[in-house]
Each structure stands twice: as C-alpha cells, then as structure tokens.
Amino acid sequence: MLTSPTATVAAPPKPLLTIEPRSGWVPLNLAEIWQFRDLLMGLAGRDVRLRYRQTALGVSWVVLQPLIAAGLFTFIFGMLAGMPGKKGLPVFVLIYCGMLGYNVFANTLSKAGICLVGNAQLVSKVYFPRMVLPLSTALSTLLDFAVASVILIALMIVYHVHIGWGLLLMPALLAVILILALGVGLWASALTVSYRDVQYVLPVLLQFAMYASPAAYTLSWVNDTLRPKHPHLVAAYMLNPLASLLEAFRWSWLGTGDLHWGWLAYSFAFSVVAFVLGCVAFRRMERRFADVI
Amino acid sequence: MSSSQRAITVQNLSKAYRITHNAAKATTMAEALVHRLRKPFQRPTYETFLALDDLSLEINKGSVVGVIGRNGAGKSTFLKILSRITEPTSGRIDLYGRVGSLLEVGTGFHPELTGRENVYLNGQILGMRKREIDASFDAIVDFADVEKFLDTPVKRYSSGMYVRLAFAVAAHLSSEILVVDEVLAVGDAEFQKKCLGKMGDVARSGRTVLFVSHNMSAIGTLCTEAIVLHKGRMAFHGATAAAVSHYNEAGYSQQGSVWERETDRKAGALAVSAVAATLQGSQPNLILNLNVRLESREAHKPAFMAIDLLDSGGVTIMQAIPTLDRFINDAPRHHELEVDVELPPLIPGRYMASIWVGSHNSEVLDWVREIVGFEIENSPTPGRTYPHHPNHGYVVPPSRVRVLDASAAAPTTNPTRPVLQRAVI
C-alpha cells in the first residue's frame, strides 16, 4: 500500500530539522532569532509606518505626548509641591528628561504585553520564533526615543547644558531599561495568551511604576525630603529597579542627579535576571500559544 | 537528486487536545481564581481528543502528496505540526529540507500598508530574507499582475487582486518542502488555474509539496500520490487515483444524512451542533429539508446562515442563503431551525452540504464542511433514458423548442427533452 521504498538507505542523511514534543527547559535558540532578523525589522517597520500613517499629526505625537506630560508634571511637582530645580536647570527640563527614560520602559512594556494577542492570526497560521514579536516592540520604541530626544537636545542647547562624559553611559542605561521592560513584557505577553485580563493590569502597573520612580520628579528631592525622617522608606523606594536607572539616565544627559553606584549595580543585575526569567517563562509557555490563542 | 531520497519521515505522530469541561475553561484570571476558591478540591475534568493518532509515513523528495479526509480527519493539525505552529504530543517528524507553509492566503497582510510593503512583510513572515524577496520581487508582482497598484494600500484592492498578490508571495518561497492548505478555495477560476500551474512548476522543479484540498480534481491533476486521513489515522497511502476512489468509495466522503458535533474544539461563539437532512418531493421539484440545531456559547452579533451544496468531488456548485424571519441572536442559547432549499433540476448523483453561520460575509462564526450528504436517484427530466454526466453540468434547465418554419424540417419534439411547463430555478 505504501509507495515509499521499504529498503532503508545504508547511511541515512541527517535531517535538517526534527520536530518532537519538548518538555521542561527549552533552549533560547538565539541563532534562530538571528535568522529571522529581517522579520524583526519588518515588524518594527510595520508598527512605525502604521502609527505615523494613520494619524493627522503623525510624528509630532511622539514629541507632543512627553511635552504635555512634562508640562503637567512641572505644574504639579514644580509649582504646587515646590520641587526645586538643579544647577540652574528649570524643573521642566529635569522632568522631560525623566519622562523620556520612563517612556522607553512604558511603551516597550505596553506594546510587548499585547503583541501576541494583537498578532493572533500570525501566531496561529505561520511559524517563526515567537520571541520576534515582543523583541520587535523594542525597536519601534527606539525610534520614538530618537525623535523625542531631539527635543531634549534642543532644550539642552537653550539652557546651555554641556554634554558630559556621562552621555557615554546613556546607551548602556537605555539598553538596561529596555531589557527590564522586555523581561516583564515577555512574561506578560505569554500570560495574556491564556488570561486576557493581563492587558488591563498592565496600565495600572505602569502608572504605579511612574509615580514610584523618579520620572516626573528627581531622586534628590526624594532623598532631601524623606531620608532624614524615613530612611527605611527611601531604601524600600530604591528597591524599585527603575529608581536608580531613571536617575542615572537623567544624570547621563544633564550631568546632575543623586547617583548611587551600588543601587545602580543592583538595578542592572535585577534587569538582567528579569530578562532571563522572562525569556525562560516565554519559551515554556510558547508551545501552547497556537492551541490556546 | 535521486527520487528515492527522503524529504519527510513521520513516526508515530500523535496530537491530543484537551477539552476542558465544567467552568475550568477560564479566560480571565479572575474567573480562574473564583472557580478555584469555590471548588478548591475539584479537579478540572478533561476529555482528551486525538486529532492525530499514531501517524507514520515517509515522503520522498520531489513528490506532490495530496492529503485527503473529511472535516476533523486531522489534515490541518498534521500541516500545523509540519509547519511547527504547534507541537506534537508524541512521535517525531524528520525534515530533510526547509519547510515553507501556506496555511492561509495573505497571513499578516495589513490593509493600511501598500502592496509593496505587504510583499516584503509577508515574505519575511513566511521566512524569507530581505534579499531573497528583492531577487524575486519582480516575478511576484508580475505573477500577481498588480504593478500599477504597488504603492496603493491593499485595503483599496479588489478581493481578487488581494488574493493574487498574497498567493504570489507564497508561491515564490524557495523552501525545499512546501505545505499548502486549501488555498485554492479562494479566487476566481482563472486564478485557480494559474495557481495550479504554479504549483505544478514547483513540483516539477524537484521540490516536495504537501497539498490539502477538498477539491478532488485539483488533487487528481497535481498530486503524484495521496494519503487519506480518517479520524486522525492513516486510512490509505498510495497512488492519487486509488486514494481518491478509496476516499469516495470507502465511505469517508459519503456522509450520512444526520450529523452531530463530536467535540467542541474549533467551535466559535455560535456553533452548529447538529444537522439532519432529508430529501422531500420528487424530481424536478426536490426540496432539501435541513433541520439545523445551533448553540450560542458566547455573545455574538446577529448571525445568518448559508448552505453550500457540493458535488461528490468537493467542488461547490451552488450556495443558498435562506431568508430569515429574524437573525440568529445570542439571547436563547439553543436554536432549532428548519431550512427548505428548493433544489434546481439536478442530475442524479451524490451531493454534500456545508453549513456556514456568520454575521457578515467576512466574519465566520462556524463553518462545518461537507457534513451531510444526500443522493438523487432520478433524472430531473421525466422519461430521459440516457445517463447524465457532470461534464455537461449539474443542472438541467427546463427547455423547450418551438418550430418556427415548418417547411425547413418535419415537426418533431426532442424525445429526451420534453417540454416542461415551469422553470424551477
């Protein structure tokens, strides 16, 4: 009945690929993601194109959104709460810079969280390394960051801020913020496949993270106000990995801030661990995506 | 490459789906938590459903293998495992070449992007590198015949152009093994012919093709061999003609007139749960009476029903969209509908019906294909003695002849086509 020859070849060639059920730990397989790097760029390009094409103001939203937010927080924290400026820099510049760093985290995390459900059709009809989807969100965030930082550079020129050596550290800080966002985002996106309410939890979490981090205010203000009376509260505050990351990010641009290398090292370690755990969790849950989504 | 080289080896492949009963089927964490708190000791009860059951086969390089089987036979699951979209539960597949799969035309096409952008994105999604797409870009555009609209968003394309472009990208995949699922179900006849031609080219170039279709004539033209799946098991593997006749004769395609859904896998918010078909009346005024039971599982938009009638080879020959008193709403969970389809004068033979429910022609809620069959025994033309053949079509329209000039010929009436009084179409 079978047409295939029954006689086996003396030395069967090695298969290019074997499909088998996997269990337990699944290796990360970075080589495969590298093979699909064009798709990574293509998906990021799609996100960017769609965002800029369908909006009336296009690219200006990327700039307007942090400008409006910084203006509002200048009113709240600078004018109402009385947060001081630093080194002759107005509060607005300090806050805009902090929001720039926070937005990298928030945009990556919120886009990564819904990327699997948003591309359910792709996930259930085509094979590609699933991790490409959340990773591509980081690329489109980077473009937004580049556009928004033009405004920061303009502000720095207006206020005569000299670019210091600290700026060399900025790419590394940016990378760590992205890694932290992706670590949480990978986990959140995989969980959203089974439980859709993750997408309602994320915005709440992000808002909490914004107020619990020195994005819209400075860390030195926290230290000056709280440390004398509540030293433990400040320590608890610093447990948030974004705290020292955002303050260091602001320092790298503007050359001012309470930099604590110990806490910064902690944040680096935290982010790397979060990323690794995120990848592991994603790979473990990945095999069910197509069946559940 | 010699033809005896392996392309694919499948060993004892099985895929089980767990169907969860009771409320354990939670889609939000709150639901899952509430259920856990209410009944902390209840184990969720599962029913295991084997979509593929111990499948083993070997496919040689350069063969074009048709995969045949009725709804739920495991064809799609098999292709999904082959294309690595889902994992098998047990068993293994060895692949001796890159796999390109086309389980749906235009996956990843975005309506707002232009044709050019979609070609690149779709190619990348299917696993092509950018320079591979660069190299075959002209050929793709040429095949799809859309040069003029390359920089137009595809949402402004006609559905024909859209499908042509989407198929063209996939047809230019350079993988050694190509997996294709029912893509010819879309597009017009001319385009289908073009696709079949392209797939023939792919096959002749020595690549291996796995091709799922309900269209037996496409399977017959394209495939060098075929497998028949039945309830997840291999029922037949051999020459195409033998497989097709096995499928037709062994009763896999011959549906009973009563159908009931076995599992609730794949079912959407509104699901067809049972169908019973009976033929009423006599030729040429036959009525296909369908008793359809539907179940609203979740909230859904008001829906309507369409009934496709197919020939025994799986080609849709007509569609009925019955007029509704009112749309099917999700308010009562269970619906029982009775549909009368007044059949045109059909030639004798076996026919099948598929039932579709949806809220819009692009929004499918459920589509159960080829689930009930019926057989017409008599000719629609009373007194006709010589047999009918599908080569001359399925419908025999009532026709009459009037003699206008009696001197040209002796007045005769066509003995095999007597005058009918009323058109039934």
Among the ranges given (A121-135, A200-214, B181-195, B327-341), the one the predictor scored with the smallest mean pLDDT? B181-195
Cβ atoms of residues A198 and A192 within 8 Å: yes
Cβ atoms of residues A233 and A243 within 8 Å: no
Region B6-249: CATH code = 3.40.50.300
> DSSP string spanning B238-292?
EEHHHHHHHHHHTTSS---SEEE----TT--SEEEEEEEEEEES-TTS-EEEEEE
A18 touches chain B (CB under 8 A): yes
pLDDT > 70: what percent of chain B?
A: 85
Q: Which residue has the tokens 């009934």?
A: B307
Element (H, E) at B135: helix B130-144
Interface subset of A 47-76, CB within 8 angstroms of B: 49-50, 53-54
Is the sign of the CA dihedral B114, B119, B122, B125 positive or negative? negative
Give me the residue from A18, A46, A194 closest to B113, CB to CB.
A46
Question: pLDDT tens for residues A184-203?
Answer: 999 999 999 888 888 889 99
How far apart are the C-alpha atoms of B357 and B302, rounded to whole Å? 10
At residue B264 the predicted structure's pLDDT band, cuts being 50, 70 and 90, is low
Cβ contact, residue pair A1, B126, below 8 Å:
no
Under DSSP, is residue B211 helix (H, G, I), strand (E, B) or coil? Answer: strand
Interface subset of B 229-288, CB within 8 angstroms of A: 236-239
At residue B378 the predicted structure's pLDDT band, cuts being 50, 70 and 90, is confident
Question: pLDDT tens for residues B221-247?
Answer: 888 899 999 888 998 999 998 888 888
Chain A residues in contact with B80 (beta carbon < 8 A): 290
Question: pLDDT tens for residues A129-168?
Answer: 999 999 999 999 998 899 899 999 999 999 888 888 889 9
Among the ranges given (A191-200, B327-336, B396-405), the one the predictor scored with the smallest mean pLDDT? B327-336
Mean per-residue pLDDT for A235-260? Answer: 92
Of the candidates A218, A172, A209, the residue with the CA atom closest to the CA atom of residue A188:
A209
Cβ atoms within 10 Å, residue A243 = 23
pLDDT at B126: 85
Of the candidates B184, B118, B112, the residue with the CA atom closest to the CA atom of residue B146:
B118
Interface subset of B 30-69, CB within 8 angstroms of A: 30, 32, 57-60
Question: pLDDT tens for residues A14-69?
Answer: 888 888 888 767 777 888 888 889 999 999 998 888 877 766 676 777 788 889 99
The terminus-to-terminus CA distance of chain A in angstroms comes to 39
Phi, psi of A80 (to 5 degrees): -80, -45
Angle between helices A91-118 and A60-73 (to 10 degrees): 130
Mean per-residue pLDDT for B343-356? Answer: 88
How far apart are the C-alpha atoms of B322 and B337, rounded to whole Å? 11
> DSSP string spanning B142-190?
HHHT-GGGTTSBGGGS-HHHHHHHHHHHHHT---SEEEEESGGGSS-HH
Mean pLDDT score across all residues of chain B:
81
Would you list the domain boundaries of chain B?
6-249, 255-425
Sheet containing strand B334-342, strands side by side: B258-260, B270-280, B287-296, B334-342
Mean per-residue pLDDT for B324-329? Answer: 82
Mean per-residue pLDDT for B350-378? Answer: 84
pLDDT at B3: 44
| Residues whose CB falls within 8 Å of the CB of residue B163, separated by 6 or more in sequence, listed in order | B105, B106, B186, B187, B191
How far apart are the C-alpha atoms of A186 and A275, rounded to whole Å? 8
Q: B328 to each of A246, B268, B297, B301, B354, how far by Cα in Å?
A: 55, 14, 13, 8, 18
Selection from A97-111, B135-149, B168-182, B267-281 with the highest mean pLDDT: A97-111
Q: Between vectors from CA A211 to CA A206 and to CA A212, what angle results, nearest 5°?
A: 90
Is the sign of the CA dihedral A208, A213, A215, A217 positive or negative? positive
At residue A243 the predicted structure's pLDDT band, cuts being 50, 70 and 90, is very high
pLDDT at A74: 93
Region B255-425: CATH code = 2.70.50.60
A126 touches chain B (CB under 8 A): yes
pLDDT at A214: 93
Question: pLDDT tens for residues B112-160?
Answer: 889 999 999 998 888 888 898 999 999 999 888 888 999 999 888 887 7
B19 touches chain A (CB under 8 A): no
